[in-house]
Amino acid sequence: MRLNVNSETGKLKSVVLGIANSNGPMPKVEDAYDPKSLLYINEGGYPKEQDMIDELKSFSNVLESYNVKVYRPSVISDYNQIFSRDIGFVIDDKFVKSNILPARAREIEAIDFILESIDEENIIHLPENCHIEGGDVILHNDYIFIGTYFGEDYPDLITARTNREAVQAIEDLFPDKKIKTFQLRKSNIDPKENILHLDCCFQPVGKDKAILHKEGFLDDTEYQWLVDFFGEENVYQITRDEMFDMNSNVFSISDDVVVSEEKFEKLNNWLRKQHFTVETIKFSEIAKQDGLLRCTTLPLIRN
């Protein structure tokens, strides 16, 4: 397989879409990966497996209707494999294996059948001290935007997923790219004060538009850099509640087609006014695990 991804919006040809089959029981409180999952565990509203299977099937149907080749991971019994975005990511023609939470380490095994079709020289294994997940990596042509957290309490925050060492490794591996880092707000307990990944508060859409949540950035100058880069007139600003609902985590099939959650009425209307085709589906159960449409995808080829 010849990989090719250098943006979030190039025409999608093939993608790995997560699965919810044999997702396992509701986690214990002490095993929650993020504060949003913790909230729904405590409230008794944690999503049911069949509901998540149905939502992913709807997503797959939309992707296939645009002639996208959809791969699904092999099923690992009683294991959460919904968020394919985190286990690896493609930059240009290289597949970078993420170093993710130890409890999720087996997820990459489920796409071995895909990795075997890629030239070994195009698969990058990062050093163990480089922590990174695909949700923190956003491609925009010559730019690689990376969500990070550099605080001294990094080891104490399960929500801090990408560190300084990983940023340096990406800079060394892709010297022709412009790397921009953005420190994100983190909380282990408050889902409205936590940005799990960069795509939870920022995402490009189309060729020159973006969705942004200002309070997700620890440094106002980093947020303002993005506003200036895209142009204020091209930015859709989301509120704290819209961030919680995952409004920035839509998914682009092409420069002019976006898949979005059906309840995001304000965002979807704005997108349509910008001349996007908006394909809407129900994805609100999966959102309870602090991930949405982009989080469940791992694009392999975009033109």
CATH code at position 59: 3.75.10.10
Residue 225 inside a domain? The answer is no
| H helices present in 160-286, as ranges | 164-173, 220-230, 240-244, 265-273
**Which tokens sit at 154?**
């990094």
Q: What is the mean pLDDT of the chain?
A: 96
Per the structure, the count of domains in the chain is: 1
Residue 191 inside a domain? The answer is yes
Rounded Cα–Cα distance for residues 204 and 254 (Å): 12
Is residue 95 within 8 A of residue 101, CB to CB? The reply is: no
With a cut of 90, say whether residue 300 has pLDDT above it: yes
Determine the structural domain holding residue 62 and report its residue range. Answer: 12-199+288-302
Residue 232 inside a domain? The answer is no
β-strand pairing of 12-17 with 94-97: unpaired
Band (pLDDT 50/70/90 cuts) for residue 123 is very high
Residue 76 inside a domain? The answer is yes
Q: In the beta sheet, which residues pair with residue 127? A: none
131-157: average pLDDT: 96
- Strand residue runs (E) in the chain: 12-17, 69-71, 88-91, 94-97, 123-125, 137-140, 143-148, 178-183, 202-205, 209-212, 235-237, 251-254, 257-261, 277-281, 297-302
Q: What is the pLDDT of residue 33?
A: 85
Band (pLDDT 50/70/90 cuts) for residue 54 is very high
Residue 257 inside a domain? The answer is no
Residue 52 inside a domain? The answer is yes
Residue 135 inside a domain? The answer is yes
**Which tokens sit at 219?**
């440094």
Residue 102 inside a domain? The answer is yes
With a pLDDT cut of 70, the percent of the chain lying above it is: 100
pTM > 0.75: yes
With a cut of 90, say whether residue 165 has pLDDT above it: yes
